[in-house]
Amino acid sequence: MEKMPQHQKKEHEKNFWENSVVYQVYPWTFNEDEAREPQLGHGSIAGITEKLDYLKKDVGVDALWLSPFYPSPMKDGGYDVIDMTAVHEELGTLADFEALVTEAHERDMKIMIDLMPNHTSNEHSWFQESRSSKDNSKADWYIWHDGVVDADGNRRPPNNWASVFSLPQLEARKRGELDVAPGDMTPPISAWTWDDERQQYYLHSFANFQPDLNWSNPDVRAAIKDIMRTWLDRGVDGFRIDAVNYIGKNMDFTDEDTDTAYVEGVDNPYDQLRRYNSCGYPWTFYRHVREMTDVLYEDKYKDRDTRIILEAYMGEHELKKLNEIAPGKASTFNFGALDLSWQAPLRWIQARAYYNSLPEGGVANQVNGNHDKPRLASRLGDEAARAAGLHNILLPGMTFIYNGEELGLHNAKIPKRYIKDPNGLRDPERTPMLWDGHAKHHGFSRTDRHLYLPLNQADTHLDVAAQRGDPDSSLALYKSAIELKHELTRPRYVSLIAKTAEGEHHDDVMAYGVESDDKRFTVMTNFASREVTAFVPNYAARAVGSVALSSVAAGGNSIDDSLDLKHGVRLGANEAIVIRH
């Protein structure tokens, strides 16, 4: 790999992001601004601005990551873009966006936006031109192929690469729509679709309406980097880069091997294949990522507190390599914990390995959810979700919070007529924020039309108005935990071992220390739904401390109580606590 740019912050300088809270806003269901007439029943950019004080003062977030707000046919929640430099007219205007950036900056908050370098909508003008002939100016902006002819003389896609969005095949098979012999595996959807206009196949790693851009074409790379510059010039502070591993492909189109771990009927048929060629292909992938991170080091931008966070579901080795590309400016999402079950030993191993894997100057991050995962409280239950919230917030690095997580919101039941997700899966975690029960649609919108997605009626008692001012609320817990996080500058992760009275490793408790030069906290989390006692015998210097925060509202450890880690700490069911030393 080439040498790392030399523009990284000096050791003593505080990096804005190093211990920050980044709040993911899903623009379509966050808030529709009061002023908009007529009200459209979905969020707006001005609606986000309207809630900046909530985010700053009631939650304590440092930065927002906005999921796509670009013009889009909205077949994949906006991840099917037709112009990545503009604002969807139903969400507002560029002026609204610029006002949001200005207002955020006035509050010392930063704005990160979603960048989709791998694919566009098939309605994008680039694709329209590309498909129109084999010799137009964008002919090679997408990945086209004649296909192959099989032994029976039939035209077939050039290889076995599959679409990530192959899950609906399982249901299609159940409905009898697929011609598959009993015992055979359900075929994934091909990543190639025939285009009648161009008389060739085009590649789409996701849905067929999301053609992949051709990253081996320098013009494509230049166009994406120009888009980054456009937004940086508009004041944006960083990018969450979508599905980034897919930009690295083997352009020889070698078939993928089969993955024997695939479980028929349970797994996405896409998982029948290993993925070495269709994404994350090492000879192209890291180079392409590096081109994007380099933009942040260009003279015009290098002194700004910018950041890139890469979305890549990959193995540890690959993630480590990605984190080494530009540690001062870019890191991958740490999905390792998100994808594990809520068990103390698993989380302990993952956290230790993760922090150890980071390069010098790298910024860690923690994720408890996003718009692609069932909501935290639905996955873990309410009490464990509170514990997981506290546990993740105090871990050193950037803590990502998906909108509504701070309220303890749950997945909603979505009537069929509302379903928007092409997988039919992810709408339940995307329903509107709940602001105020005294207002129409809980303050989300005043529309008389249908909402973009329905309110989760089962959660209406959890709205912001109900939680604000309630010291026992989930919102209050998140705010207090974030305040504690912000007490630490440049914290280090200290892996601790929680033990039982018999001196065995504790099955249910994970303990970790967070230390900065002048402050120390210990966090102890009980993953079990019953009371336990745990000891941290090897943390002698910090044995005694006082409770700074508990995730359990009533009946947990009381604030300011003195504890001795060597003599045992009692933790209530699903209780996480912060101990101040």
Which residues sit at the interface with ligand NOJ, rule CB under 6 A? 76-77, 79, 206, 242-243, 311, 371-372
Upper half-sphere CA count for residue 88 (Cβ side, 13 Å): 22
CB-wise, 268 or 467, nearer to ligand NOJ? 268
Dist CA 310 CA 241 (whole Å)? 5
Nearest alpha carbon to residue 22 among 96, 114, 106: 114
**Residue 248 or residue 556: which is nearer to ligand NOJ going by CB?**
248
Type and span of the H or E element at 169: helix 168-174
Task: State the nearest-atom distance from the C-beta of 61 to ligand NOJ, in Å.
Answer: 20
CA neighbor of 569 nearest in space, from 514, 516, 508, 481: 508
Question: Of 240, 245, 334, 308, nearest to 281 (Cα)?
Answer: 245
Q: Which of 361, 458, 431, 439 is nearest to 39 (CA)?
A: 439
Burial of residue 372 (CB within 10 Å: 0-12, 13-18, 19+) is middle
Least spacing, CB of residue 115 vs ligand NOJ, in Å: 11
Q: Yes or no: say if 135 and 94 are a contact pair by the CB < 8 Å rule.
A: no
Per the DSSP assignment, residues forming a β-bridge with 533 are 570
Cβ of residue 372: shortest distance to ligand NOJ, in angstroms? Answer: 5
Pairwise CA distance, residues 219 & 563, whole Å: 61
Between 242 and 271, CB nearer to ligand NOJ: 242
Please say which residue, 279 or 384, places its beta carbon nearer to ligand NOJ. 279
Strand partners, 115: 241
Q: Which residues contact 179 (CB under 8 A, 6 or more apart)?
A: none
Q: Are strands 365-367 and 398-402 parallel, antiparallel or unpaired?
A: parallel
Query: Checking DSSP bridges between strand 520-526 and strand 576-580, what pairing results, if any?
Result: antiparallel
- Residues near 562 by beta carbon (within 8 Å), at least 6 away in sequence: 544, 545, 546
Tell me how far, at minimum, the Cβ of 67 lies from ligand NOJ, in Å: 8
In whole angstroms, give the CA distance from residue 108 to residue 439.
30
The catalytic residue positions are: 242, 311
Q: Minimum distance between the CB of residue 56 and ligand NOJ, rounded to whole angstroms?
A: 25
N-terminal to C-terminal alpha carbon distance within the chain: 43
CB 191 → ligand NOJ: shortest distance, Å? 13
**Residue among 98 and 372 whose Cβ is closer to ligand NOJ:** 372
Distances (CA, A) of 199 to 127, 137, 368, 422, 483: 14, 17, 45, 26, 59
Q: With contact defined as beta carbons under 8 Å apart, do 531 and 557 qualify? A: no
Beta pairing, strands 200-203 & 144-145: antiparallel
The closest residue (CB) to ligand NOJ is 79
Q: Which is nearer to ligand NOJ, 318 or 508 (CB)?
A: 318
- C-alpha to C-alpha distance for 232 and 313, rounded to whole angstroms: 26
**Shortest Cβ 344–ligand NOJ spacing (Å):** 29
Cβ closest to ligand NOJ, residue 212 vs residue 508: 212
Alpha-carbon distance of 120 to 127, in angstroms, equals 8
Closer by beta carbon to ligand NOJ, 427 or else 508? 427
Shortest Å, Cβ 382 to ligand NOJ: 25
Shortest Å distance, C-beta 284 to ligand NOJ? 19
Nearer to ligand NOJ, 243 or 326 (CB): 243
Closer to ligand NOJ by Cβ: residue 243 or 314:
243
Least distance from ligand NOJ to the Cβ atom of residue 42, Å: 17
Q: What is the DSSP string of 41-85?
A: SS--HHHHHHTHHIIIIII--SEEEEPP-SS---SSTT-S-S-TT
